[in-house]
Amino acid sequence: MKRISKIYKKLFVAVAALCFMSSCTDYLTIIPPEKITEEHYWQTKDDVNGILAKAYLNLLSTDAVSKAIVWGELRADNMTFPASSGEDLKYIVEANLLDENSYCKWNIYYEAIQTANLVIDRAPQVMERDPDFTEGDLNVVLGEMYALRALAHFYLVRTFRDIPMALEVVADDSDMPQYPQVHPMEALNLIMADLDKAQGLVMKSGSFITREQNYGRITENAVLAMKADVNLWRAAFATYYEGGENAGLVAAGDVQKYYDECVEDCQKLLKNMDALFEKENKNRPGLVRYPYDLIQNNAEAAKDKISTAYDEIFGSMNSSESILELQVEGDNIKNGFASGVPNMYGKNGDRGAIIVPATFASKKYTKDDLRVFSYTNLKSLTGNTGASGSEPADVIIAKYHAKGSPATDYRKGDDFDANWIIYRKTDVLLMMAEAMVARPSAGEEDFAKAFDIVNAINTRSRMDTTNIYKPFKQGDYMTKEKSLELISDERVRELSFEGKRWYDLVRKALREKSTAGILFVADKLDSNSGVVKSKMTSIDALFMPIHIDELRYNKLLKQNPIHGKEDSSAELN
């Protein structure tokens, strides 16, 4: 039997006995589908833990991670397709979004939701059958599944906007109800309701025995990060719908409220991380603490473009800045189960299905920013004019791909053990900065605090933190517009290739009620940029079409109007 990720291995041990063959092609076949729903299966604590693990593994699968990357990054300015790319990726970059495109399929996320629903529905009865499965055990399991269900729905609403909310258990595919789509504000409110339930049930961060468990399973800090993110999106959608035909969905003061709640969520999370940092370092008297307890780069190593922060966060993994990262082992890759990152970004130092646009790094990074040399395979930048020296034909994505920095030693195809990070500290800090600055009440104190956050993250990424090349000047960013621009630029510098950039730009468009401010993403396509920009003039165009198979199956679905006729489902009969 092939191994699975260490963090999920113990959870999964009881399930392995259900595998009818000595070797399984993937982990979704370890549990025969009919066994999951049989009443006699839900008897013991191990049964529950087995299905709990399956829910996590859904989100770690090649399909789920590939879509998290494509949905969250590909249409932005930091990714494009190589000359040999398949048509599905090429069409997405060129805004030629067709409902037959394989990346419009959302089934893997609904599979994760369905697995979570099964645990939520069936786990309580196990407490009556197995004395080892206590009420405390049940609460933790339920909390993780409410949060995982919320996270899966959250991916979908950011990508497709008008989605069905699957909040009921389904016995099998033949019994699958035809859920109607709901308005994105309603979807986000339901997602938040799940997260509110989860917050009071999941484990406190740092309470598990191992680091892999503390960062690989959903804890209180992970829930708070999700809540902060959802509140950013509630505020953006509320801003967009204010005063429009759907204005009734937004009450007066909602925008301010959602941004304030985002800030509060981030503050609670950061306070928790501070306490955990102090606990883990109580026996290190004289320890120097840097702003926001960020991992610092070794000054001597930085001269050689070595980012010790990258090495700890993406090389060693489960760093002190981690909040939630899905745990991967090389054996996941050998059986093709968790190959999303290597398929997209490459392996063995070779490119994957996606590359970096030639001018992206020079537009966003300065020549002394260590991140460009660990996130990509570029060897040098000269000011802001682009690459210099002998550079590769394609700029490849080295984040996750590279074992360390600068990007020279790469993970092999059959031993690609990089965890897929969903939330980490700098993401939360920048979410908090965005919420403080974007809220209607924002003033100079908020702008100054946001600048401090961005400056701390940016400074730790420079080769010589005592002599910054082109340092930021606070006085240049004391307006809402300039401050938001600074935060957006730092988010792409820090979080590129983590499934965030396109979502950040969509949120910006919603906030501005216009796509004009994000049309620059098409500039990466020299010949077709004008055509792509013309296709992106509507907010509707920022969201993916629903796949044609889903329209055939669920007659209650309506296609995103910009991607086809509203009655397209009727024409498929």
* Residue 424: strand pairing partners: 322
Average pLDDT value for the chain:
89
Least confident of 164-173, 356-365, 425-434: 164-173
The answer to whether residue 249 scores a pLDDT higher than 50 is: yes
Nearest by Cα to 521 from 69, 98, 85, 93: 93
Residue 519 CA to residue 531 CA, distance in Å, equals 11
pTM for the full predicted model: 0.92
**Per-residue pLDDT, 9:** 54
**For residue range 458-494, what is the model confidence (pLDDT) as tens digits?**
999 999 999 999 999 999 999 999 999 999 999 999 9
The predicted model gives 111-120 an average pLDDT of 95
Percent of the chain with pLDDT over 90: 79
Residue 163: what are its φ and ψ, rounded to 5°?
-125, 155
Ordered by start, the domain boundaries in the chain are 6-219
Is the pLDDT at 149 greater than 70? The verdict is yes
**pLDDT tens-digit series, residues 433-443:** 999 999 999 99
Cα separation, 409 vs 411, in Å, equals 7
Q: What is the pLDDT averaged over residues 292-319?
A: 96
Q: What is the CATH number of domain 6-219?
A: 1.25.40.390
C-alpha dihedral, 339 to 342 to 348 to 353, nearest 10°: 130
Kindly write down the DSSP assignment for every residue of 512-563, as one continuous string: HTSSGGGGGGGGG-TTTHHHHHHHTSSGGGGSPPPPHHHHHH-TT----GGG
Centroid of chain to Cα 68: 7
Q: Work out the pLDDT band at 336, boundaries 50, 70, 90.
A: confident
